[in-house]
Amino acid sequence: MREVSLEFMLRLESEAEAEALYKAILPEIESPVDEKRGKIKAYRRGSTVYLKITSKSLGDLRALLNTYAYLLESLRKVVIKKL
């Protein structure tokens, strides 16, 4: 079976915000709740955080995208408030 993947980016206003968000999401990526759904990789360049999601099915990819998009948005609200 073929893998499907998706990469998305979140541009922030500063490198400090991007670094804080990147550090906040790393524990979730390093210890995922459900490793069977797929793989997540994250990296940061400047003021942008990138996530790459790879999965064996489109349904799992969609579920992971929804989960991590929601998580990133929630973390963004908390992290940026603290800066």
Mean pLDDT of the residues in the chain:
91
**Separation of alpha carbons 33 and 1, rounded Å:** 23
In which band, very low, low, confident or very high, does the pLDDT at 79 lie, cut at 50, 70 and 90? confident
Domains and CATH numbers, the chain: 4-82 (3.30.310.50)
User: Residue 36 — pLDDT band, cuts 50, 70, 90?
Assistant: confident
pLDDT band at 33 (very low <50, low <70, confident <90, very high): confident
What pTM was computed for the model? 0.85
Residue 3's Cβ-count burial label (10 Å; 0-12, 13-18, 19+) is exposed
User: Would you state the pLDDT for residue 82?
Assistant: 74
Q: What six digits make up the tokens of 45?
A: 């360049």
